Amino acid sequence: MLLTKEQIGRFDADGYLFFPALFGKPEIQVLLDEVPTLYAQRRPENVREKTGDAVRTNFAAHLYSAPFARLARHPRMVAPIKQIFGEDVYMHQFKINGKMAIDGDVWQWHQDYGTWRRDDDMPEARAMNVAIFLDDVNEFNGPLMLIPGSHRLGVLEAGHDLTTTSYPLWTLDHGTIEKLVARGGIVAPKGPAGSMILFHSCLVHASTSNLSPWNRVSVYLSLCAVSNHIRRFKRPGYIAHRDFTPIECLPDDCLLKDYDVPLPWKDGTPAEQLRGLLEAA
């Protein structure tokens, strides 16, 4: 799948593109069926909500789950990103965010590239965020909120929030959000399972808690231009990947057929990926 000139223009202006129902129900079911098994595992990649046992984020499933390893190589997701950057991309981060019914907690306002620059020493904002809905997303189950055009301001001042949620994040203060929203408003793309959002890594975003009885499981992938790989390995390797191998796409039917994929972490997380290390070579 390639983007039209009009879509690229809209991405430059707004910082995001929304593709409702890009993946079909049978394709998404293959992924959804795998989630309970992944969330039940007691591995460090499962970060749980601070109020209980519900999984907030599962990291790096593409390294130990075949369906997610295939999604990580899906041409409908990878091709438009390579088109925008004009080069190969690698997987910088891979998350399955639970936002489970009743228990799903907030994500404070932030920019992903803010974290990647400060923590991982990623040289430029040449990494793309992708959200793929595994459940229907509606106004009640904590849809992702975006501030259109905010990516154009580059990296904004932020504070390191270690307490609000169960995941440390560089978050923006309320005065900044007021100004950004006065200028760009807020959008919250909603749609059926299988929908995809591409959004710029400087686009300011957040989501509220999920008090509805409906799960909002979504996959968040961050693909970085290979030449723009991170220079610092301060965070564990399952959060900020250190393998900069270009992604090679599988055929378009890869979620429905059992194409062979490597699963290097199937028997556990390699010890050296569990901790932060010194500067990258």
Binding site for ligand SIN (CB under 6 A): 97, 99, 107, 144, 205, 207, 218, 220
Residue ranges of the alpha helices (H) in the chain? Answer: 5-14, 25-32, 35-40, 66-71, 75-85, 112-120, 174-184
Of residues 215 and 218, the one with the C-beta less far from ligand SIN: 218
97 binds, among Mn ion, ligand SIN, none (CB under 5 to 8 A by kind): ligand SIN
CB 15 within 8 Å of CB 149: yes
Q: Smallest distance from the beta carbon of 218 to ligand SIN, in angstroms?
A: 6
**108 Cβ contact list (under 8 Å, min separation 6):** 161, 164, 165, 169, 171, 172, 206
Pick from ligand SIN, Mn ion, none: which does 167 bind, CB < 5 to 8 A by kind? none
In the complex, what is the shortest distance from the CB of residue 128 to ligand SIN, in angstroms, rounded to a whole number? 13
Is the four-CA dihedral 270, 274, 275, 280 of positive or negative sign? Answer: positive
Residue closest to Mn ion when measured from CB atoms? 112
For Mn ion, the closer CB: 45 or 112? 112
Query: Which of 70/205 has CB closer to ligand SIN?
Result: 205
Q: Please, is 60 exposed, middle or buried when counting C-beta atoms within 10 Å of its C-beta (0-12, 13-18, 19+)?
A: buried
Q: How far is the CB of 144 from ligand SIN (least distance, A)?
A: 5
How far apart CA 124 and CA 102 sit, in angstroms, is: 37
Could you identify the residue written with the tokens 């010194």? 278
Q: Which does 62 bind (CB under 5 to 8 A by kind): ligand SIN, Mn ion, none?
A: none
The residue among 66 and 204 lying less far from Mn ion, judged by its C-beta, is: 204
Q: How far apart are CA 91 and CA 243, in angstroms?
A: 8
Distance CA 68, CA 74 (A): 10
Q: Minimum distance between the CB of residue 143 and ligand SIN, rounded to whole angstroms?
A: 8
Give least dist CB 117 to Mn ion, A. Answer: 14
CB of 39 to ligand SIN, least distance (A): 15
Residue 46 binds which entry of Mn ion, ligand SIN, none, CB below 5-8 Å type-dependent: none
* Tokens describing residue 174: 């309320």
Task: Pick one of Mn ion, ligand SIN, none as the site partner of residue 144 (Cβ within 5 to 8 A by kind).
Answer: ligand SIN
Task: Please identify, using beta-carbon distances, which residue of 96 and 250 lies nearer to ligand SIN.
Answer: 96
Give me the residues that bind Mn ion (CB under 5 A), please: 112
Q: Residue 241 — φ and ψ, nearest 5°?
A: -70, 150
What does the DSSP 8-state code read for residue 227? G
Q: Is the dihedral of CA 10, 12, 16, 17 positive or negative?
A: positive
Looking at beta carbons, which residue is closest to ligand SIN?
A: 207
What CA–CA distance (Å, rounded) separates 37 from 262? 19
In whole angstroms, the minimum distance from the beta carbon of 112 to Mn ion comes to 4
Query: Nearer Cβ to ligand SIN, position 67 or 104?
Result: 104
218 or 228: CB nearest ligand SIN:
218
